[in-house]
Amino acid sequence: MEPVHKDTHNIIPYRTLLTVLAVLITLTFISVFITQIYLGTLTVAIALLIAAVKSTFVLRIFMHLKFENRFLSSMVIAVILIIAAVIFITLLDYIYR
């Protein structure tokens, strides 16, 4: 008898994974390039924005979140929001103390 478990496994083509890798490497070079030319306070924002875009690719494709239960991705978002909120509140405290 065939084991009954829901098959949630998608086969992600090699090509998709290699494309994502190319995008990630390109984004890395872009962030290195941008931060080497002076952009003042914007540098931090841009570098972190690029890092966020890169992590979205890693989370959704490499870590399969795009193909998994919605519940998992919403939990990941919740954890990220908790960390962001803690950083935000802590900085507010330090800036306006």
List contacts with other proteins (CB under 8 A).
1, 3, 5-6, 8-9, 11-14, 17-18, 20-21, 24-25, 28-29, 31-32, 35-36, 43-44, 47-48, 50-51, 54-55, 58-59, 61-64, 68-69, 72, 75-76, 79-80, 82-83, 86-87, 90-91, 94-95
Q: How far apart are the first and last CA of the chain?
A: 67
In our burial notation (b when 16+ CB lie closer than 10 A, e otherwise), range 69-85 reads eeeeeeeeeeeeeeeee
**Minimum distance from CB of 97 to other proteins (Å)?**
11
